[in-house]
Structure 1
């Protein structure tokens, strides 16, 4: 009879990854709560911390039940609550909103690999929390004028069908390209919005990183974000589309690190993965071939940047090794 309470390999891997992400977010929240000046923002941040703390404890209990060593994740050693404010008001909720977008994707992936009822319950609960906080954050940012929605357009009055493959033509030497469709504009706007907040985040990281190689890596990431933003802006302006994405806040002049280099590097590691998935989705659903090609070429830059970051994390012992399958060849050799 199959033991239904025993975690399988995909469940161990996904819960391990979720634990890493949740403990990282909690350290950010602790710092943001400490520095928050707006009571409404502090309530959103504090509410999220309480919810995540419950599920982190649930995961720790699950590890204990399985006889599995609890991951290190990120602890109080990775955050300095006494550090001065690194980001101005508004950044905290804008960043939380981006993190909740990442979480939605991770929970979907985790749930898709889950067969255990207890693990399903964890992902179901985390998904509910994430959707609630995402809505609260979006409403807050819109009310404060920090977040601006994508452009409004004339709504369609009748159904149209694509007539021929010229609809996909973007590399045209003669004649006009077709206008961007609404889905393409939405993807571009979202990428612009995400890269704006990412540039602010990594600028702060570059200011306060203690490790010289990490600092150089963050500076390189800032330039990459600027390249992405410029590309998105050019595509939108070429289509006579009003730009509306904001950065959310500005970085202060503080150089005192609120976070460990290990935590900051892992944060960028997660966001790089999110960016690659977003670029792949955007490239696939962009039907104009020049737009799809540019999106995928930008994704190539993110991929190589991400690989460089992984190598740096390994070099300095900042990358906790995920659980892995038994090395049968080594076991067999030892048995000789």
Structure 2
């Protein structure tokens, strides 16, 4: 037997394989439903490309987990989508949805590669990363060609390298408060982009469910996203920089059910999980006190809401258990 067949999966490898399977399996149904709804043929082809890549990634994850005798997540089925429903979101938003999804996928698979040890698992995660990169390239190119890609601003090039000379560089409230640096801006714009997508998606979810509790959760998710967005945009406006466009009006007035309540709530929970991950990643690059305070406050608020959503899913028995450590007690 080869080494890769005798060495068990590490906890890190298992975590990214199992969680990734759950994410990709759910994404497959969203891609299927949105591909059927989108009218623009070029965007539809892009959804087909994304769907084919997702299915291939799922097959690889399923093989690796099955070979190690781990149970495959149950996930969802055709019953969780309604392909004959009226179009809920505009083509413009559906292209943006793919853009944000590709970004999240790139970051997830990059971390997975970094945490993998076994050769076959490393090769698999590298294939996933390459697939996500190809999708991101295609989405970016099509968005640019259609004039729908919103670029973050350019910054003037410094004439020479410069060291930080004053501790006031860390200020955020009083005194000599500096503008945002490029790394703070990069992460700030990425968080804002995710918040824009969450708000629009959840408004549509609330509009198409007939369950008041699910509608309330989705409306709350949209409201939190909007308030966090407005708070962060304040930092950008303070430095006289442009703000990205909102997509909250990019939907029709249909009330046709497109997705089941379970898959909608699962997506809300997953997106807030991605949001928390992005906040956490961004904290390491912050050197302004006021921005640091804003991020930690946002993490607390988004985290409290995520816990409520998780409790709701547990009560409904909708939340699958991630493989973990055996309770030795």
After superposition, the Cα gap between the structure-2 partners of 1:214 and 1:286, relative to the gap in structure 1 and judged at 3 Å, is same
**CA-to-aligned-CA distance 1:91-119 (integer Å, 9 cap, x gap):** 22211221222222222333333333332
After superposition, the Cα gap between the structure-2 partners of 1:179 and 1:254, relative to the gap in structure 1 and judged at 3 Å, is same
1:33·1:42 contact (CA, 8 Å) conserved in 2? yes
Within 5 A, what are the aligned runs for 1:93-112? 93-112=95-114
1:124 to 101, 123, 126: 126
1:145 aligns to what? 147
* CA–CA distance in structure 2, aligned partners of residues 243 and 65 of structure 1: 48
**CA-to-aligned-CA distance 1:56-79 (integer Å, 9 cap, x gap):** 122223333333332212222221
1:178 aligns to what? 178
| Unmatched tracts of structure 1, length 5 or more | 330-336
* CA–CA distance in structure 1, aligned partners of residues 310 and 32 of structure 2: 26
TM-score by length of 2: 0.92
After superposition, the Cα gap between the structure-2 partners of 1:302 and 1:224, relative to the gap in structure 1 and judged at 3 Å, is same
TM-score by length of 1: 0.90
Please report how far the alpha carbon of residue 149 of structure 1 lies from its aligned counterpart in structure 2 after TM superposition. Answer: 0.5
1:191 aligns to what? 191
Query: Are residue 252 (structure 1) and residue 252 (structure 2) matched?
Result: yes
Please report how far the alpha carbon of residue 80 of structure 1 lies from its aligned counterpart in structure 2 after TM superposition. Answer: 1.3
1:56 aligns to what? 58
Select the structure of larger CA radius of gyration: 1
After superposition, the Cα gap between the structure-2 partners of 1:244 and 1:14, relative to the gap in structure 1 and judged at 3 Å, is closer
1:275 aligns to what? 275
2:25 aligns to what? 23
After superposition, the Cα gap between the structure-2 partners of 1:166 and 1:75, relative to the gap in structure 1 and judged at 3 Å, is same
SS in 1 for 2:117: coil
1:171·1:290 contact (CA, 8 Å) conserved in 2? yes
1:301 aligns to what? 301
1:169·1:288 contact (CA, 8 Å) conserved in 2? yes
1:229 aligns to what? 229
* CA–CA distance in structure 2, aligned partners of residues 129 and 220 of structure 1: 34
2:100·2:193 contact (CA, 8 Å) conserved in 1? no
Please report how far the alpha carbon of residue 134 of structure 1 lies from its aligned counterpart in structure 2 after TM superposition. Answer: 0.9
* CA–CA distance in structure 2, aligned partners of residues 161 and 321 of structure 1: 49
Q: Give RMSD over aligned pairs.
A: 2.1
**CA-to-aligned-CA distance 1:9-50 (integer Å, 9 cap, x gap):** 433332111111111111111111111211111111101111
2:215 aligns to what? 215
Please report how far the alpha carbon of residue 137 of structure 1 lies from its aligned counterpart in structure 2 after TM superposition. Answer: 0.8
